[in-house]
Amino acid sequence: MIVLLAFLGLLVGALVNQIATDLMARRSLKPPRCPYCGENRPRRQWLATLAFLLMRRRCPACDVPIRWRYPLVEIGLAVTFAYLWIELGPSVKLVLYLIYAVIFTLVLITDIERRLILNAVMYPAIALAIVAIPITPGLLWWNALAGGAIAFGFFWIAALVGQLMFGSGALGGGDVKLATFIGLITGFPLVIEALVLAICIGAVLSFLLLIFRIRGLRDHIPYGPFLVIGAAITLMWGYSIAHNFLNM
C-alpha cells in the first residue's frame, strides 16, 4: 500500500502541475503542453519524473527543457502520500489530509511562481473544510468556526495594516483566504499554533533571504508557503508540540 500510495501521489502530482499551470494561464484544463512553443507534450513526458529518468526532458518541438518544478511536485506528493499512509493508515483523516496536501501544493506553486493564491482554489477549499467538519476527528463546529474566524480576523487586519504601510506588495486577499482555510481545518486552539509557526518561520526565512542577498528589502516574499508549512506541522504534530511547550 505504501508503494501504491506513492505511485498515486506521483500521478496526482502530474495532474496538480497541469491544473496549476492552466489556472495561472486562466484557461480550461488541457493536456500537458510546452509553455514556450505551445505544442502538446508527447505522452511519455506527461509524467515529468519519468521523462527525467529516461533523459527525455526536452520539448521535441523547441528543445526547451521541462522545468524542475514538475518532477519536484510529483516526487513531493509521492513522498507525502506515502508518509500520510504510514502515519494515519486507512481512515477518513487520511482522505482529508491527502486532499489538503493537494490544495497546499497548488497554493505553493501559484504563490511562488506568480505571487497569486487563486480564488478558484481557495473558495472550494474553504467550502470543503466547512463540509468536512462533522467527519473530521477532533473537530467540532464551534472550534472549527472559531479557528476560521480567528485566522480570518488576524490576517485581514494584518493585510490592511500591511497595505497601508508597505503598499500592494504586502499581504493580500489570497493570504487571508488561505489563513481562513487553515483555521477551519486546524480549529481552536491549534490555529494559534499554526499562525505562530507561520509567523516565526516567515521571519527566520525572510531574514536569511535578506542576509544572503537572495531578496532585497523592497522585494516581495510570498507568505503563502509560510502559512502552508505552519499548517502542515500543526496538522501532523500540533498537540505534541503544544504539550511539550507547555511542559518545558
Q: Domain boundary residue among 56, 79, 102?
A: 79
Is residue 75 domain-resident? yes
**Residue span of the structural domain in which 15 resides:** 1-79
Would you state the pLDDT for residue 15? 95
pLDDT along the chain (248 residues), means of 10: 95 95 87 82 88 87 90 97 96 96 97 92 97 93 96 91 67 91 96 94 86 70 91 92 72
Same domain, yes or no: 63 and 140:
no
Same domain, yes or no: 102 and 144:
yes
Q: Which residue has the cell 526536452?
A: 58
Is residue 85 domain-resident? no
Same domain, yes or no: 104 and 195:
yes
Q: Domain boundary residue among 51, 79, 107?
A: 79
Would you state the pLDDT for residue 169? 57
Is residue 86 domain-resident? no
Residue 41, phi-psi category: left (phi > 0), alpha (psi -120 to 50), beta (remainder): beta
Is residue 142 domain-resident? yes
Would you state the pLDDT for residue 209? 80
Q: What is the DSSP track for the chain?
A: -HHHHHHHHHHHHHHHHHHHHHHHTT----S-B-TTT-PBPPGGGSSHHHHHHTT--B-TTT-PBPPTHHHHHHHHHHHHHHHHHHHH-SSHHHHHHHHHHHHHHHHHHHHHHHS---HHHHHHHHHHHHHTGGGSTT--HHHHHHHHHHHHHHHHHHHHHHHHHHGGGS--HHHHHHHHHHHHHH-TTHHHHHHHHHHHHHHHHHHHHHHTTSS-TTS---SHHHHHHHHHHHHHHHHHHHHHHHT-
Would you state the pLDDT for residue 108? 96
Measured CA to CA, the distance from residue 183 to residue 229 in angstroms comes to 14
Same domain, yes or no: 158 and 182:
yes
Q: Domain boundary residue among 79, 105, 128?
A: 79
Is residue 245 domain-resident? yes
Would you state the pLDDT for residue 42? 87
Is residue 189 domain-resident? yes
Same domain, yes or no: 64 and 146:
no
Q: Provide the domain count of the chain.
A: 2
